[in-house]
Amino acid sequence: MKGLSVSKAVTALMLAGLVLLPLYSSLSGNIFILTLFTRIVILALAAASLNLIMGYGGMMSFGHAAYLGIGGYAVGILAQEGVGSGFVQFPVALAASALFALVIGALSLRTRGVYFIMITLAFAQMAYYVASGLARYGGDDGLTVYKRSDFYGLINLSDRVQFYYLCLACLLAVIFLIWRIVNSRFGLVVQGLRSNEQRMQAIGFPAKRYQLVCFVISGTMCGLAGALLANNTDFVSPAVMYWTRSGDLMVMVILGGMGTLFGPIMGAVVYLLLEEFLSQITEYWALIMGPLLLLIVLFGRGGIMGLLGRAGRG
């Protein structure tokens, strides 16, 4: 019980930090930290979406970066074609991601285990090559988004603080949604399928249909992250979908604590801050980061959330 309270305290502290960050940024005049954390919040959103299927559903998608790209390209392509309205761009980004997830999920869910990891990877690589082949939209070089999504004065995405809060609001909304999902009857079935698919099927639940719906929800959430990411960098390129990026997302989820509500945020914050911190000390930051990941796997089961829980229990 005491263990729970330690991880709760740290989580609350982290959330408070995220909410108050723009204040600190404007007081200290440190604009860079706001830019950095906008990126962290967006990728935390992507990691949270992956956690929904990986942590709660037991579906290890190794192609989640594809949705980052699809959401991003939806914004980029529409902007290029003169449709600047966020009210069009964002729904299209979500719908495109959902559709992709529906097709991929329907095919991938025929397999399981390592095969599932690999087939999701294969589909993401296909999306990567399709994007590389889009000569009209930059091909390999990527597509510059000259104008951020326009929400007609409701919110101005070019304003750093407003954009940061938009991203944070999206993240918290997604976390809330995931919380509602995993505690609903639907979510309990999905989690039941993770532990014992045969038994659930024997009781009479159409296993694949539940898993597919969960897969689509997750993909759609990640598409939202993609749309935000394109607005953040003013740029979208096939590199966003490359398989190592899917690996990054997986690392964030596992690092923070798979199957915990706030673990992915924790993981994204720690992973990206560590990357930033180490890269300031040395150009060869990955030399430290790599073995660090190995050590975390070897000695830190359950990620940071698990570690916090154990620390609390003493």
Partner 1 sequence: MLLVVEQFLNGLQFGLLLFLLAAGLTLVFGIMDLVNLAHGSLYMMGAYFAATFAAWTGSFVLGALMALGATLLLGIVLEVTALRHLYGRDHLDHVLATFGLILFFNEAVRLIWGPAGLALPLPAWLTVPVPILPGIHYPAYRLAIIVVALLVALLLYLGVMRTRIGMLIRAGASNREMIGALGINIKLLYTLVFGLGAALAGLAGLMQAPILTVQIGMGENILILAFVIIVIGGIGSIRGAFLAAIFVGMIDTLGRAFLPNLLRQVLSSTAASTAASALSSMLIYLLMAIVLVVRPEGLFPASRR
Output the smallest distance, CB 152 to partner 1, in A: 36
The first and second tokens of residue 6, run together, are 């330690």
Does the protein bind partner 1 through residue 258 (CB under 8 A)?
A: yes
Q: Shortest approach of partner 1 to residue 301 CB, angstroms?
A: 8
Q: How far apart are CA 21 and CA 244, in angstroms?
A: 29
Q: Which of 95, 297, 311, 313 binds partner 1 (CB under 8 A)?
A: 297
Q: Pick the stretch among 10-18, 174-182, 209-217, 241-249 that binds partner 1 (CB under 8 A).
A: 241-249
In whole angstroms, give the CA distance from residue 73 to residue 96.
Answer: 10
Q: Does 118 interact with partner 1 (rule: CB under 8 A)? A: yes
Q: Determine the Cα–Cα distance for residues 295 and 306; give it in Å rounded to an integer.
A: 15
Q: Which is nearer to partner 1, 26 or 282 (CB)?
A: 282
Binding part of the chain for partner 1, among 5-13, 15-23, 76-84, 239-247 by CB under 8 A, reads: 239-247
Q: According to CB under 8 A, which one of 18, 42, 43, 60 is a site residue for partner 1? A: 60
Q: Report the Cα 163 to chain-centroid distance in Å.
A: 17
- Polymer length in residues for the chain: 314
C-beta separation of 114 from 62 below 8 A:
no
Q: Which two tokens stand for residue 193?
A: 């399928």
| Residue of 71, 72, 70, 66 lying closest to 50 (CA atoms) | 66
User: What's the closest the beta carbon of residue 290 comes to partner 1, in angstroms?
Assistant: 3
178 binds partner 1 (CB under 8 A): no
| Gap between the Cα atoms of 232 and 210, Å rounded | 34
**Residues at the site binding partner 1, with contacts judged by CB under 8 A:** 54, 60, 62, 107-108, 110-115, 117-119, 121-123, 125-126, 129-130, 132-135, 139, 243-244, 247, 250-251, 254-255, 258, 284-287, 289-294, 296-298
